[in-house]
A and B are shown apart, each in its own frame.
Chain A
Amino acid sequence: MRARFAALATLLLASCYYGAPDSVVNGALVATQYASGVSWDAYTTFSVDPKVAVLDNTGSVTTECTVDGTNLVTTITQQMQARGYTAVDWGNSVTGPATDIQIKMTSYLGSVDYYYSGYYCGWYPYYYCYPSWTYAGSYSFGTLVLDMGDLKNATSGGKLPLIWHSASYGVLASYYTGCANTSTINWGRVQQSIVQAFDQSPYIQSAP
């Protein structure tokens, strides 16, 4: 009798279980935001830094490194050119060429701090905040961030105004083992997220 009751209770509890499936928790999520008041048709040229800055927080100490993102530059360039902008090669310089727009890539690994609204937005001029969203659980995968800076309207010695920002969550999946080993990145997944970021930002459009 007890065994039957236990089995029934287990069944009832199992039927009440709910939660996001793995496909959602570990799925790629692409978020984009733009700065208010930007005249996208005022820009004509852009360049993309081929170096991806990596902040690896999977261990006890945050480490930083740089990986080559040339293949991502190709994807970004295709998207920007399709919107009427002219690409300029970044070259070997650190600061890049004097184009209207500069795009930089950053990867965050293992850290959920990036998601806490009011923290990252507080000190960094991202417009990317989720005031009504909250951290929901374990998340150990990487995020690729694209920042689009307005070099055309930047003031000397000041911060580079950000006019667009995208974050692709979960695209640097678990097989990306951080700065120690960047050879297993699924670049196709990352590139797909970049295309999605531009697809959902139709306002990025140069003057015809």
Chain B
Amino acid sequence: MLQPRLIPILLLQNGRLVKTVCFKDHVYIGDPANTVRILNDKNIPELILLDIGSTTNKQEPAYTLISKIAAECSVPLTYGGGIRTLESARKVFDCGIEKICLNTAAYQTPQLISEIASIYGTQSVVVCADVRKDKKGVYEVYISNGRKNTRITAGKYATKMEQLGCGELILQLIDHDGTFAGYDEVLVNQISAMVNIPIIACGGATNVDNMHKILSYGASAAAAGSIFLFSGKHKAVLVSYPFQAHL
């Protein structure tokens, strides 16, 4: 039986790990390779690493750092951030990464998804869709770290990404990021029913139970940052992983 996929998600910015609230208010978490080593020792089942700085600064992925992090991780690692061409995707795979994640590039150069999938297989291409709910309750996809509205609905976007060759879709609710407010069950349920690829729910995880619960709404995986990075009511930085997922 397939085990529940409860995935820590880490954010990189200028070579440092940070955590955000609603894509703002960056808090420093620690050294990336060291944090990955800690999580790896705690038997995480997979890991997602997103460089949120490389989109803003229009930088190439930090290949040396990615290689160093990949060497620390004995479980599958998805990397996203700054991948705009097939060449940069190739370099990231060569760092020892299994899956690459496209966000803004998936919108701006959708053919890149098909190009990468035709060489590395659809299971190697993940798309992250950052979503915001408007006043009428319509879910729209945003790019450029949540700053630009594409005016495309999440459902339409998800269907298009699947057709292009995306193998997994991270659905991230911007306004729940780092808030512990819980996943958006309606969003996950709605999109999951529209596509045949796995959906990774992200944004707002309250606790372990909340992660398990979203799986019953059609998510194939639940990703979270804050609950693995902070402890106590004052949100002190403490890297933890309270499951024994693959034992």
To the question of whether A and B form a pair in one complex, the answer is no
